[in-house]
Amino acid sequence: MARKLPMHQRAVLAAGGATLTDTMHIVWSVITVALMMFEMGFAAAAFAGRFRRYSIATMVVLFVCGALTFRSAPGIAANLPTGHVAYFRPGDRVLISGDAIVTLKVNSLAGLVLQRSGLSAPPWYTTWNGRAAAASIQFLASLEPTVLATGRGKPMIGVETAAALHEFARAQHLRRCTESTRP
């Protein structure tokens, strides 16, 4: 019989309200990931060629992303916003922005339902600090990528990518400035 191990919300954990179920949630998560890695490793050993390379690459990506997520643990425990993650490869100027910037109009119902393309700030429902998001957009624009791959929408490719991103960052900055000066 499976037993549920609910985890309390961040505010409860930050106030010192952690219980054994919170600890067991983490323990079971670690066991689950370890078993997944074992299964993928066993499959990679059993099969050769492209499947083996794919399995090993998948394991490396899961490990690296898990390590990056683990770095956010103190912020989660303190009930701080953890923000978005982006990866930049300067050699060929590729920016993988996740949800820090997206190329789909996700902040309006019409844009989301109709899948309208265009640069957009992170989804409002996952962004707790609009000023920090706007600052992140400005920083990512300063990287001047030629390829922008996002978590939502189609990638932008070409030299015009950096110019479009700069223009979008400027518009976001102006919007945040006018919002902060409203009475």
Per the prediction, the chain carries an average pLDDT of 82
Q: What is the pLDDT of residue 168?
A: 93
Q: What is the pLDDT of residue 72?
A: 64
Give helix 160-180 / helix 130-142 axis angle, nearest 10°. Answer: 150
* Predicted confidence (pLDDT) at residue 119 exceeds the cutoff of 70: yes
Domain ranges of the chain: 10-77, 87-180
What tens digit of pLDDT does each residue of 124-154 get? 877 767 778 888 889 999 999 999 999 888 9
User: Per-residue confidence at 3, pLDDT binned at 50, 70, 90?
Assistant: low
Can you list the alpha helix ranges (DSSP code H) found in the chain? Answer: 10-14, 20-46, 50-70, 73-77, 109-114, 130-142, 160-180
* Predicted confidence (pLDDT) at residue 180 exceeds the cutoff of 60: no
CB burial class (10 A; 0-12, 13-18, 19+) of residue 89?
exposed
- 87: which residues sit within 8 A by CB, 6+ positions away? 95, 96
